[in-house]
Every structure is written in C-alpha cells, then in structure tokens.
C-alpha cells in the first residue's frame, strides 16, 4: 500500500490531467485539502511537494499552489525543402516574438579545441595529429534574461579554419550552403534525442524549476563518408517541443503543428 501523501498526489494529478484544474488555476487551500482527504497538514504538504518535484504545480509561500502552465515553443528539428539550414534563426525569432511578445537575443562565441573522447570519435579526428582540432560555435539564445536554449556546433578544423565558420557572426546563407561552397556538400545526417535531469549548474544556467528535464538533440552531418558537423542543442523541456516534418510540405502548413501543446489534454 502506498503512503497516504502519494495517494493524494496521484489523485490530484489525475484531476489535473482530466482538466478539473487547468494550467494557471490554483489548487484548493491546504485547509480544504485537509478537510477533503481527512488527513493531517503535514501529509497534505508532502503531497503538494510531490507534485511540485514532478513539475506539475508551482508552490509559493503565502500564495498557495497553482497548476504549472507550460507553453512550449516549437523547435524545427528537421530539414525543409527550400531552406538552407534545419533551423533558420530568423524563423525562430519570428515564432518567439509571436508566442512570447518579446525580442529574443543571441550570444555567439567561437573557439577552437582539440577533439577528444566522443567528439574525436564522431568527427573522426585524432588529437595527436594536426587535423585533430575542431572549431566550436556556441550560440546561447535568450528570452528576456532567461537562457532559452544553447546550441553547440563543432566543425573539423581543416574545414572551418579561416572561413566564416571561424568568426563570431551569423552565416547569412546558412552553414549548410557554406559547407557546400567549401567543397563539403551535406549528403546525410543522423539524430539522437534524449532527455536527462539537469546538473545543478545546468539548473542554474537555464533557471529550471523542479522536475523539469533537459532535452538534448544531437546530430552528425556527413559529406559522403566525411563527418562535417556535430551539433548538440540543449532545450529545457518546459519551453520546447521538437517538430519533425517529412516530404514536400509547405512551411505554411507547419503553423498547424505550432498550435499543438503536448501538455494540453
């Protein structure tokens, strides 16, 4: 038999899932929950803590508890015909302005580091050789003061050194087109997407609430059999949904997908 506070937490989660308590709506007061479940204040508080730790409610001293309101932004994660890159930043900016009413900003830094471990394996580089370094482009995207997502792209140094990839500025034509102009047209790629609970540093960096995981989207792109780019994107799960589209679908049709919220019931 489960502890009483877990039973109460499960019942409240069911009511949230069924829409009795909608996002942004307050839950009953502690006194009301004590009366409803005929239990102690400590048990009710433990049940509410359980819901908060799972990211279902926000609890503030003196203000009670409210159902957490998730309004994630769609992150386009697959190529579209007629687009030079998987996720054109201009389109992302437009969505953020529309959905959040603010102007996002980005902070782009470029560096160079020896390729070791997983990075060396994925880009087929040997740090003991001259061609064993990678150019890294790290882009932090903010909404207000909050870090919204971080994207890190690694390019073999023998491809990127001395090019626009090696400078801390956006590439207007897109990196895919630039790589093709450098003699490395992208012919294929693979993706791995997973979710993990953040470290303390990541929780602080992204200002994550309790119970919120990080989505991690990794992609390696190839020109024939040569790895030309490894990209890792960190996306707080309460702020993002990944959208994949297949075939000759018009970009305007994707607006339907932007109305889908996996947190709605």
Distance of CA 73 to the CA centre of its chain: 9
Nearest-angstrom CA–CA distance, 144 and 233: 19
Same domain as 34, residue 109: no
> How many domains does the chain fold into?
2
Same domain as 186, residue 56: no
pLDDT value at position 222? 97
Same domain as 87, residue 44: no
The three-state secondary structure class of 152 is strand
Same domain as 230, residue 117: yes
Domain, as residue range, for 46: 4-67
Among the residues of the chain, which ranges form H helices? 4-17, 30-37, 41-53, 89-100, 117-123, 157-160, 175-181, 200-206, 255-258
Partners of residue 105 on adjacent β-strands: 142
CA angle in degrees (0–180, nearest 5) for 221-222-225 = 150
Same domain as 135, residue 237: yes
Residue 107 inside a domain? The answer is: yes
Same domain as 101, residue 27: no
Residue partners of 99: CB distance under 8 A and separation at least 6: 71, 73, 258
Same domain as 92, residue 55: no
Same domain as 80, residue 28: no
Nearest-angstrom CA–CA distance, 134 and 149: 22
Cβ-in-10-Å burial (0-12, 13-18, 19+) of 48 comes to: buried
Q: What are phi and psi of 72, to 5 degrees?
A: -70, 150
Residue 29 inside a domain? The answer is: yes
Give me the CATH number covering residue 144. 3.40.1410.10
Residue 263 inside a domain? The answer is: no
Distance of CA 189 to the CA centre of its chain: 20
Neighbours of 45 (CB within 10 A): 15
Contact 37, 204 (CB under 8 A): no
Distance of CA 69 to the CA centre of its chain: 17
Contact 75, 243 (CB under 8 A): yes
Same domain as 221, residue 92: yes
Same domain as 94, residue 45: no
Residue 181 inside a domain? The answer is: yes
Residue 57 inside a domain? The answer is: yes
Please state whether beta strands 214-223 and 188-196 pair in parallel, antiparallel, or not at all (unpaired): antiparallel
**Would you say the C-alpha torsion 240, 87, 206, 94 has a positive or negative sign?**
negative
Give me the CATH number covering residue 60. 1.10.10.10
Residue 35 inside a domain? The answer is: yes
For the chain (265 residues), the mean pLDDT of every run of 10, in chain order, is 87 87 88 91 90 82 81 73 52 69 86 91 85 92 88 95 92 88 94 93 89 92 96 91 77 70 68
Residue partners of 227: CB distance under 8 A and separation at least 6: 122, 123, 124, 156, 220, 221
Indicate the residue among 37, 67, 97 that finishes a domain: 67
Indicate the residue among 67, 82, 103 that finishes a domain: 67
Indicate the residue among 34, 67, 100 that finishes a domain: 67
CA-based radius of gyration for the chain: 23
Same domain as 79, residue 60: no
Nearest-angstrom CA–CA distance, 228 and 7: 52
Residue 25 inside a domain? The answer is: yes
Residue 265 inside a domain? The answer is: no
Contact 240, 261 (CB under 8 A): no
Same domain as 98, residue 20: no
């Amino acid at each position: 038999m489960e502890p009483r506070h877990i039973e109460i937490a499960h019942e409240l989660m069911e009511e949230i899932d069924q829409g009795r308590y909608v996002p942004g709506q307050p839950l009953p007061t502690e006194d009301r929950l004590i009366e409803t479940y005929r239990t102690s204040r400590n048990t009710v508080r433990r049940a509410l803590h359980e819901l908060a730790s799972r990211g279902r409610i926000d609890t503030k001293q003196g203000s009670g508890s409210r159902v957490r309101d998730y309004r994630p932004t769609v992150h386009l994660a697959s190529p579209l015909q007629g687009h030079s890159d998987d996720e054109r930043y201009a389109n992302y900016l437009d969505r953020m302005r529309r959905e959040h009413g603010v102007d996002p900003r980005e902070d782009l830094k470029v560096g160079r580091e020896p390729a070791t471990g997983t990075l060396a394996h994925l880009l087929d580089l040997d740090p003991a050789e001259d061609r064993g370094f990678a150019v890294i482009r790290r882009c932090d995207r903010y909404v207000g003061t909050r870090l919204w997502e971080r994207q890190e792209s690694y390019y073999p140094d023998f491809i990127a050194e001395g090019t626009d990839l090696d400078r801390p500025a956006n590439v207007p034509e897109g990196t895919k087109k630039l790589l093709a102009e450098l003699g490395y047209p992208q012919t294929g790629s693979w993706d791995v997407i997973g979710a993990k609970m953040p470290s303390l540093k990541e929780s602080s960096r992204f200002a994550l609430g309790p119970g919120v995981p990080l989505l991690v989207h990794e992609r390696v792109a190839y020109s024939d059999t040569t790895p030309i780019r490894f990209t890792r994107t960190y996306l707080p799960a309460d702020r993002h949904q990944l959208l994949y589209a297949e075939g000759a679908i018009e970009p305007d049709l994707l607006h339907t997908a932007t109305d889908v919220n996996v947190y709605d019931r």
